[in-house]
Structure 1
């Protein structure tokens, strides 16, 4: 898909972004998962930009956004979202994020809910993985550099896609592997360190913004049970389950789009 990306100057650095749709429409900003770029959202652009001013951006440490020295925190990643919105003169928006991006959405709901009309937290959890595992991964990619990122790319399909999808859609899998292989090792490691220490379970009850929790029925990383646990903690949160693994927007785009758009329309 052809797209025009911009280098957006913000108070927190220059972020690579793409803006589609009617400039006067309500804004929707999308947050990518660890090891991907804003291109991960290409299957959603046509459907989402038809209703929203659609904003995609590369998370700090990823793609064309700043790979500043780590460690990062979700205070950093959440403030980056607000800085992108401010640079585009967007006072209020809806937010949708996957995995690390979904965790950023939780942070925004807890700490900056007044800026958001609705938040979709997809394939995520209030606590993702263990501190030790994230620190080990960060150390591995720092030590291994580009070769370490390629090794991660080799192992990514088993975490990101169901076996059946990987076998029948090799081009999608290979493109996703290309994203992770191209991430700056320091940026990736610094985001791992943010995930290592972030536990938002205690703040879920403070989220007053309408929230969707979308899970993949086949996701081994952030499970349906993780989404149900968040739903129990967030007042009025909705739950949707789609037939996919971790990168559900790529594996089941029609079901993903329908769930998110239905939620945004009602919120």
Structure 2
């Protein structure tokens, strides 16, 4: 475990794989930490350098006062990659992490050579939907929305497993202010126009049973980038890297191979 002190925020990050390998950066979804990728990394090709981090207000990163802007979250990722002297990464972003991926590619193409936009959108929901969710959680806590969140996050088979308890606990033990700060960032983001200007290799990944970012939203978003590809994972919800890690790793490996990253 390592901490990057970026001044106004301290980000927890972890590096695995080959320290001299081509870099792959992973950015998490709302309400999770870098353990989101635990089941995928061992299934990816050797010779790659894997960088994971916790967003501000999540996991072991610091908890600045909210609400946060998407610009701040993009800047956090940008400064972390500069801190680690990383260039030409494949950036894998899931949900809000996929929004961060889009923002970072728009801002710093020297850092990003390819994108994986997983279970995400150029715009997710509406500002009003997110304001309503923020008010509900502020009044009742994260436990109040935990069961409905599990329905969106995972396919039916995974929800019937004992492991579901671990992910429910990860959500409910998340700092509320960190969750709400990032939720506000999602509600204020619309990347349709800037993302349509991107020209780089991109893969969209969607879960067929995703109740948060349905496959059509992911496909619509990745189609903004000419030459992009799209992968649908059957039986998966919003976090296919957890409930379908084999299929997820296969999709990533195929993409890495196509673009010459392995």
Distance 1:212 1:134 in 2: 27
Q: Which has the higher helix share?
A: 1
Distance 1:10 1:49 in 2: 31
Counterpart residue number, 2:165: 174
Distance 2:205 2:131 in 1: 27
**1:113, 1:207 within 8 Å by CA — same for their partners in 2?**
no
The answer on 1:157 being equivalent to 2:150 is yes
Deviation at 1:180, TM superposition (A): 0.9
Counterpart residue number, 2:118: 122
> What's the TM-score, normalizing by structure 1?
0.91
> What's the TM-score, normalizing by structure 2?
0.93
Query: Residues 55-111 of structure 1, C-alpha deviation per residue, up to 9 Å, x if partnerless?
Result: 110011101112111121111111111111112121331110111111111112222
- Aligned pairs for 1:140-155 (under 5 A) are 140-144=136-140, 148-155=141-148
Distance 2:135 2:211 in 1: 23
**2:24, 2:50 within 8 Å by CA — same for their partners in 1?**
yes
Deviation at 1:231, TM superposition (A): 3.2
The answer on 1:232 being equivalent to 2:223 is yes
Counterpart residue number, 2:255: 263
Deviation at 1:49, TM superposition (A): 7.0
Distance 1:16 1:231, change over 3 A: closer
In structure 2, list runs of 5 or more residues that go unmatched: none
In structure 1, list runs of 5 or more residues that go unmatched: none
**2:58, 2:175 within 8 Å by CA — same for their partners in 1?**
yes
Number of equivalent positions: 258
Deviation at 1:156, TM superposition (A): 1.8
